[in-house]
């Protein structure tokens, strides 16, 4: 029966129907829902791994053991997993192995907008790229066939607009595959130099065979068009925008496989049209390939290497016209994302701001601590970079910065790749102060469990990694826990640990205010008789507080009653908890 599915849910359905038995991933927008949806099928073992490298290695192990396996990640996650990726390309697989990577052109929820197609070329792996949910399902299944037929992991490339769009799919039945027996094969699976030297030519031959397959594969299809002045080479969302703008006017070569590319098919297509045009998002990957073939591409048409493509941009380049709307002559204030009312990170960031500290930040909801009025962050690079960056910062400053510089990192990010940085700080003895913002969940991506929460992906209780013990075990003697709702305690602990003459970890612990099990005391009240309009409460950037007619006003629909603002009020105008 036809139904609407997110592209990500459709990938999960494809995994299910293809008999996938093992899924290991780390959450990351826009890839997260693949693994969440896969976990709902009882036939699939599914887990959150601490990071993408672990996930990919686990998926490889499952393939080696003979079961079809999968790992999914966002584009920057593939950077983390790049190490196993390049070598699993050499070993190939036993049972089929599929890797999904979801790019985020336009950076809706990412720190960069890299184009993951380069990984397919660099690692010499096949990459399929669906253009809607039906293809997401079909390509996931096809990926397993290719994986086993050509003895290779296969990359399924998603992007925000495909991953997070629902379109029509017709689900099919699951097919079970008996486990492929594992056979010891050192020449194939032990990648020491002698063996790897023999495997590399196998990889190159495989790429040629895949290229031959791509020449006649139905997923690389020519759609006819009457007007042969242009012929368009495209894939993914770009294909949808081309069809939206031009319908069936021009011939289109729609690629379902973006690496390796079908050279003959592209040449033949180019010969049938006056001008070959490539429509693609971000880097000129397909275009550079065509140029490399000596084909004249693009003509007057050009697309930028930055930001996601839009339907109007494509329409304008192909037809020199696009729809226009009504513009309102009003200055519209932006509405950036903010820390939620009651967010436990707020009190801690207020403390960092108040003490005028340099803060090396990390990836998560708490990156919002960088924006006004808190503005308590100096750098954000990638998962785990806060702690390792702080170590380098302190070493380079000759210890001079140690008393006024901290790293902040979430619980899930710490487990992902923060702990190795902490080991470095302990081992190489920088007097670093690391703050773990433990909100007992992976918040940013929409509440996924992680090794510190005590629950697994399926929601069942499991081993809970104890952060305090872990920090002590890697050599940190000073480990403190503080409640971020308690501003006085935060201030005291942060000052003491910065003053201490050895590395320390402060665990700022309180569960995410959006977790269903968290009970809030309810909105506090403001007393206009006592409020003098000093705006001290506005320093924390809480969306539930605003100033109207010179007085603080609490939004009862947002306020959770956390009481952080009340601790800033010297006039007792804000009700709720009074501390300090």
Partner 1 sequence: METKSIMIVGVGGQGTLLASKLLGRLLLGRGFDVKVSEVHGMSQRGGSVVTYVRWGEKVYSPVIDKGQADVILSFELLEAARWTEYLKPGGRMITNTQQMNPMPVITGAMAYPQDLERKLRAAGIDLDALDALSLAERAGSSKAVNIVLMGRLSRWFDFTEAEWLEAIAQSVPPKFLEMNQRAFRLGRDA
Are the C-beta atoms of 100 and 156 separated by less than 8 Å? yes
Cα 340 from Cα 514, distance rounded (Å):
8
Task: Say whether residue 165 binds partner 1 (CB under 8 A).
Answer: yes
Instruction: Using the rule CB under 8 A, give the single segment among 11-19, 326-334, 415-423, 568-576 that binds partner 1.
Output: 326-334
- Minimum Å gap between C-beta 218 and partner 1 is 19
Helix axes 133-150 and 7-17, enclosed angle (nearest 10): 40
Taking Cα atoms as reference points, which of 364, 372, 344 lies closest to residue 508? 344
d(C-alpha 510, C-alpha 537), whole Å? 21
For residues 282 and 305, give the distance between their C-alpha atoms in angstroms, rounded to a whole number. Answer: 4
Taking the C-alpha atoms of residue 44 and residue 51, their distance in angstroms, rounded to an integer, is 20
Interaction between residue 226 and partner 1 (CB under 8 A): no
Angle at 343 between CA 342 and CA 344, to 5 degrees: 110
Q: Which residue lies nearer to partner 1 by CB, 312 or 358? A: 312
> How many C-beta neighbours within 10 Å does residue 314 have?
27
Q: Which of 178, 193, 201, 334 binds partner 1 (CB under 8 A)?
A: 334
Among 93, 120, 162, 266, binds partner 1 (CB under 8 A): 162
Q: Cis link prior to 30 (omega < 30° from 0)?
A: yes
Whether the CB-CB separation of 71 and 36 falls below 8 Å is answered with no
445-474 residues near partner 1, rule: CB under 8 A: 445-446
For partner 1, the closer of residues 61 and 533 by Cβ is: 533
Total of chain residues touching partner 1, rule CB under 8 A:
62
Instruction: Name the DSSP class of 454.
Output: S
336 near partner 1, rule: CB under 8 A = yes
- Footprint of partner 1 on residues 487-506 (CB under 8 A)? none
Per-residue contact flags (x/-) with partner 1 for residues 499 to 538, judged by CB under 8 A: ---------------------------------------x
Q: How many residues does this entry show for the chain?
A: 580
Q: How far apart are the C-alpha atoms of 512 and 502, rounded to whole Å? A: 30
Q: Which of 3, 112, 319, 420 is the binder for partner 1 (CB under 8 A)?
A: 3
Q: Between residue 53 and residue 112, which ones bind partner 1 under the rule CB under 8 A?
A: 108-109
Q: Does 321 bind partner 1 (CB under 8 A)?
A: no
Q: Is 547 in the site for partner 1 (CB under 8 A)?
A: yes
Touching partner 1, residues 123-152 (CB under 8 A): 132
Least distance from C-beta 337 to partner 1, angstroms?
4
Q: Return d(Cα 206, Cα 71) in angstroms, integer.
A: 22
Residue among 164 and 180 whose Cβ is closer to partner 1:
164
CB of 53 to partner 1, least distance (A): 22
The answer to whether 381 contacts partner 1 (rule: CB under 8 A) is no
Give the shortest CB-310-to-partner 1 separation in angstroms.
5
**Interacting span for partner 1 (CB under 8 A) from 84-92, 198-206, 542-550, 565-573:** 542-550
222 CB burial (10 A radius; 0-12, 13-18, 19+): middle
Q: For strand 252-254 and strand 221-223, is the pairing parallel, antiparallel, or unpaired?
A: antiparallel
113 binding partner 1? (CB under 8 A) = no
Nearest partner of 12 among 30, 38, 33, 36, judged by Cα:
38
Residue 363 DSSP label: S
The nearer residue to partner 1, 363 or 498, going by C-beta atoms, is 363
**Is residue 333 a contact point for partner 1 (CB under 8 A)?**
yes
Check residue 324 for interaction with partner 1 (CB under 8 A).
yes
Contact between 455 and 480 under an 8 Å Cβ cutoff? The reply is: no
Query: CA-CA distance, 171 to 125, in Å (whole number)?
Result: 28
Of 231, 232, 301, which Cα lies nearest the Cα of 273? 231
Q: Can you spell out the DSSP letters for 460-495?
A: -B-----HHHHHHHTT--EEEEE-TT-HHHHHHHHH
According to CB under 8 A, which one of 365, 407, 434, 565 is a site residue for partner 1? 365
Which of residues 157 and 188 has its CB atom nearest to partner 1 in the complex?
157
Residue 241 contacts partner 1 per CB under 8 A: yes
Candidates 206-214, 268-276, 324-332, 561-569 — which segment interacts with partner 1 by CB under 8 A? Answer: 324-332
Contacts to partner 1 by CB under 8 A: 2-4, 6, 29-30, 32-33, 108-109, 132, 160-162, 164-168, 237, 240-241, 243-244, 310-312, 315, 322-340, 365, 368, 371-373, 444-446, 538, 541, 543, 545-547, 557
């Amino acid at each position: 029966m036809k139904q609407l599915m997110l592209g990500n849910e459709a990938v999960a359905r494809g995994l299910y129907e293809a008999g996938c038995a093992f899924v290991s991933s780390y959450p990351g927008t826009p890839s997260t829902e693949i693994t969440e949806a896969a976990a709902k099928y009882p036939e699939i073992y599914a887990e959150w791994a601490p990071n993408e490298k672990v996930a990919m290695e686990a998926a490889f192990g499952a393939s080696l053991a003979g079961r079809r396996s999968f790992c999914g990640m966002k584009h920057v996650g593939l950077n983390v997993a790049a190490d196993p990726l390049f070598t699993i390309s050499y070993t190939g697989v036993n049972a089929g192995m599929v890797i999904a990577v979801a790019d985020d052109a336009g950076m809706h929820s990412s720190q960069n907008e890299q184009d993951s197609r380069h990984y397919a070329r660099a690692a010499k792996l096949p990459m399929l790229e669906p253009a809607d949910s039906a293809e997401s399902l079909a390509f996931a299944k096809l990926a397993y066939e290719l994986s086993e037929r050509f003895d290779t992991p296969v990359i399924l490339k998603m992007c925000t607009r495909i991953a997070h769009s629902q379109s029509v799919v017709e689900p099919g039945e699951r097919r079970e595959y008996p486990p492929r027996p594992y056979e010891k094969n050192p020449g194939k699976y032990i990648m020491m130099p002698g063996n790897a030297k023999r495997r590399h030519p196998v990889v190159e031959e495989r790429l040629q065979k895949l290229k031959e397959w791509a020449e006649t594969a139905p997923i690389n299809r020519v759609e006819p068009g009457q007007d042969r002045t242009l012929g368009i080479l495209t894939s993914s969302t770009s294909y949808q925008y081309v069809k939206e703008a031009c319908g069936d006017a021009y011939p289109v070569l729609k690629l379902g496989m973006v690496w390796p590319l079908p050279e003959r098919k592209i040449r033949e297509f180019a010969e049938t049209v006056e001008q070959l045009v490539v429509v693609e998002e971000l880097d000129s990957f397909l275009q550079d390939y065509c140029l490399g073939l000596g084909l004249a591409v693009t003509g007057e048409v050009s697309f930028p290497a930055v930001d996601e493509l839009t339907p109007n941009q494509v329409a304008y380049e192909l037809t020199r016209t696009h729809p226009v709307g009504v513009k309102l002559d009003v200055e519209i204030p932006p509405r950036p994302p903010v820390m939620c009312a009651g967010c436990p990170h707020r009190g801690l960031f207020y403390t960092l701001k108040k003490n005028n500290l340099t803060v090396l930040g990390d990836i998560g909801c708490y990156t919002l601590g960088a924006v006004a009025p808190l503005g308590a962050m100096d750098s954000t690079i990638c998962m785990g970079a806060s702690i390792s960056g702080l170590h380098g910062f302190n070493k380079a400053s000759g210890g001079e910065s140690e008393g006024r510089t901290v790293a902040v990192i979430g619980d899930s990010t710490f487990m992902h790749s923060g702990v190795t940085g902490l080991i470095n700080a302990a081992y190489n003895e920088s007097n670093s102060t690391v703050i773990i913002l433990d909100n007992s969940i992976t918040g940013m991506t929409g509440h996924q469990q992680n090794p510190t929460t005590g629950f697994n992906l399926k929601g069942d209780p499991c081993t809970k990694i104890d952060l305090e013990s872990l920090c002590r075990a890697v050599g940190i003697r000073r480990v403190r826990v503080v409640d971020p709702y308690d501003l006085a305690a935060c201030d005291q602990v942060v000052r003491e640990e910065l003053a201490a003459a050895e590395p320390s970890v402060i665990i700022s612990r309180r569960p995410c205010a959006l977790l269903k099990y968290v009970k809030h005391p309810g909105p506090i009240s403001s007393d206009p008789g006592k409020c003098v309009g000093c705006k001290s409460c506005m320093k924390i950037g809480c969306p539930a507080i605003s100033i109207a007619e010179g007085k603080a006003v609490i939004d009862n629909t947002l306020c959770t009653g956390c009481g952080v603002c009340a601790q800033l009020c010297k006039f007792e105008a804000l009700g709720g908890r009074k501390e300090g």
